Amino acid sequence: MKIYYAPNTRAVRIVWLFEELGLPYELERYKLGQPEMRAPDYLKIHPMGRVPVLEDGDVRMFESGAILQYVLATHGAGRMVPEQGSPEFPTYLQWLHYAEGMIMPSVNIIVVETILLPEDKRNRKNADRATRLLSQSLTAVEAGLAGRDYLAGDFSGADIMTGHACCISARLGADLSDKPNVAAYVDRLNERPALQKAWDA
């Protein structure tokens, strides 16, 4: 299988997943904003010129959450997903989708307004509002981690999705001083060898 990857993007999730599962993969590396990612040939691979993309035989997918679900369903052999009859299964689904629904929209705005845009184009009000919303979304994760190391019982795909979003939030300087569970969670995840390999891919 081939993973189209760029550092510090959602593609880290997919490499992390493969490393956790011990699955072999080929890495096609890019840098964010690289002109080749806007070329017609690449736009045939990902219509928005982004990463990740997974190629698995005749299958090509370009949404990180969908890729994760697909890989766990087809190559995971039951690992990293609670059984459907388990009380953890609905919790797993909630946190599997929480990252993109609640955390990453604020992260995206912060990245655009503080990193990607030139200083004269940045909007401080947008960044401040996104920072407040990010803090609120992480407060829910703080509550979800009460009394547990991972979001849905054992380490699972939900931790790759929402855990990655928490790690990115911390890297962006999110204030975790009132969120000790999230702070410890981020440290716990960053200690996992598979995530370390994904950051360094």
Q: Tell me the pLDDT band of 156, cut-offs 50, 70 and 90.
A: very high
Burial of 137 (0-12, 13-18, 19+ CB in 10 A): buried
Q: Do 71 and 124 share a domain, yes or no?
A: no
Which ranges of 33-123 would DSSP assign to H, the alpha helix?
A: 40-43, 64-75, 88-98, 104-111
Q: Is the pLDDT of residue 118 over 90?
A: yes
Burial of 75 (0-12, 13-18, 19+ CB in 10 A): middle
Q: Please give the average per-residue pLDDT across 131-144, as a whole number.
A: 97
Token pair 């009460």 is found at 146
pLDDT score of 33: 83
pLDDT score of 172: 94
Percent pLDDT > 90 in the chain is 98
Looking at the structure of the chain, the number of domains it has is: 2
Q: Please give the average per-residue pLDDT across 158-167, as a whole number.
A: 98
Q: Do 45 and 144 share a domain, yes or no?
A: no
In 10 A of CB 157, how many CB atoms? 27
Query: Does 82 fall in a domain?
Result: no
Q: Tell me the pLDDT band of 54, cut-offs 50, 70 and 90.
A: very high
- Domain span at residue 128 reads 88-200
pLDDT score of 32: 86
Instruction: Write the CA distances from 146 to 84, 114, 141, 143, integer angstroms.
Output: 23, 32, 9, 5
Q: Do 66 and 111 share a domain, yes or no?
A: no
Q: Do 97 and 70 share a domain, yes or no?
A: no
d(C-alpha 68, C-alpha 12), whole Å: 11
Q: Do 49 and 138 share a domain, yes or no?
A: no
Domain end position, chosen among 45, 75, 105: 75
Q: Do 123 and 146 share a domain, yes or no?
A: yes
Q: Please give the average per-residue pLDDT across 129-135, as a whole number.
A: 97
